[in-house]
Amino acid sequence: MHEYSVVAEILNSLEPQLVEHPGRVTAIYLKKGELRILSDHALYNAFEVLIKDTRFEASRLVVETIPASIRCLACGHEGAPETVADDAYHFAVPVLTCPKCDAEVEMVAGRELYVDRVSIETEADDTPSSGATDA
């Protein structure tokens, strides 16, 4: 499962960015494109294993899925791609041609993977605060 290496890289990249922000990390908010082949379940499992004995222990991972979106290079159509569902695949496979004119399309959204923000509870006032950070 490459989800473990993805989560490990996210945590490793966040650690130095959060040095200036004391307090307890309560949540990490991750945005994941619909076409990013990562299991949410495996991401959560990896997160639970990898946060032990770190600053992130007792925090939670929140994954928000970004829907896939395409733009036709010929006719300008924008929207969700059509998909082919087949039991042989474990997910719906997007058709990356325009549903209107069958021309080539470009991906507008759906392949992202980034930390949107991190919530930190400060000891001074015991209220959560959020800071945006990219990983």
Give strand pairing partners of 69: 109
Note the pLDDT tens digit of each residue in 39-59.
999 999 999 999 999 999 999
Would you call 28 exposed, middle or buried from its count of C-beta atoms within 10 A (0-12, 13-18, 19+)? Answer: buried
Give the separation between CA 67 and CA 4, rounded to whole angstroms.
Answer: 23
User: Which class does domain 3-123 fall in?
Assistant: alpha beta
Per-residue pLDDT of the chain (135 residues; tens, 9 = 90+): 699 999 999 999 999 999 999 899 999 999 999 989 899 999 999 999 999 999 999 999 999 999 999 999 999 999 998 877 766 666 666 778 899 999 999 999 999 999 999 999 987 645 555 554 444
Q: Domain coordinates of the chain in residue numbers? A: 3-123
| Predicted structure pTM score | 0.79
Give the separation between CA 121 and CA 10, rounded to whole angstroms.
Answer: 20
Give the separation between CA 101 and CA 36, rounded to whole angstroms.
Answer: 26
What is the per-residue pLDDT for 85? 72
Cα Rg for the chain, rounded, in angstroms? 18
Q: Minimal CA–CA distance to 111: which of 3, 47, 37?
A: 37
Instruction: For residue 41, give the H/E element and its range.
Output: helix 40-50
